[in-house]
Amino acid sequence: MTFELPKLPYELNALEPHISKQTLEYHYGKHHQAYVTNLNNLVKGSAFENSDLETIVKESDGGIFNNGAQIWNHTFYFFQFSPNGARTAQGTLADAINAQYGSFAKFKEEFTAAAATLFGAGWAWLAKNKEGKLEIIKESNAGNPLRNGLTPILTCDVWEHAYYLDTQNARPQYLKNFWEVLDWNVIGKRF
């Protein structure tokens, strides 16, 4: 199977001023593309040569896992954004968030704290477990909740390449910007 960089559903400048065109040119156009190129090279002749991305995320390790999971994670990340989407949770996801965290504001606070305190590089996730309960989890490097039987709902990339061009090393400012481009209509469909 040959993997390709998926086309974004918005223009590279559409998320400004929260995420710049320059950041997307590097983060999406170079980093994300590098994972695609690397995975295509790594799977040739391997047990995962004909596997889909989800299988690679769940079952592989080493370089194949790292690059495959980063493709999956980044695609999930970039496709939850919109220049003019719903900025708060809606419907059954809103109900689940309110039931679990008390309010959307409290959930946002807890999720932001998880993303802000993840040491080094990785991902903050909102995921649903088998009982239908929501969990905020932190994963290092290319970590993905699929490996633990969870359903990913929302993610925040806290590798520095996600924000360094826009906010330098100010992860808290990046996290403020992150909330301004999320499209909860898209995120709600994942629930």
The confidence band for 69, taking pLDDT boundaries of 50, 70 and 90, is: very high
Residue 67 pLDDT > 90, yes or no? yes
The confidence band for 1, taking pLDDT boundaries of 50, 70 and 90, is: confident
pLDDT digits (tens, 9 = 90+) for 125-169: 999 999 999 999 999 999 999 999 999 999 999 999 999 999 999
The rounded distance, in Å, linking the Cα atoms of 157 and 111 is 12
Q: Which domains does the chain have, with CATH numbers?
A: 21-78 (1.10.287.990), 91-190 (3.55.40.20)
- Please, where are the H alpha helices in 79-134? 91-101, 104-117
Torsion of CA 126, 128, 134, 139, to 10 degrees: -40
Contact 161/26 with Cβ under 8 angstroms? yes
The rounded distance, in Å, linking the Cα atoms of 159 and 157 is 6
What is the residue-averaged pLDDT of the chain? 97
The confidence band for 47, taking pLDDT boundaries of 50, 70 and 90, is: very high
All residues at 6 or more sequence positions from 28 whose CB lies less than 8 Å from its CB, including other chains:
5, 8, 12, 74, 78
Tell me what pLDDT residue 142 has: 97
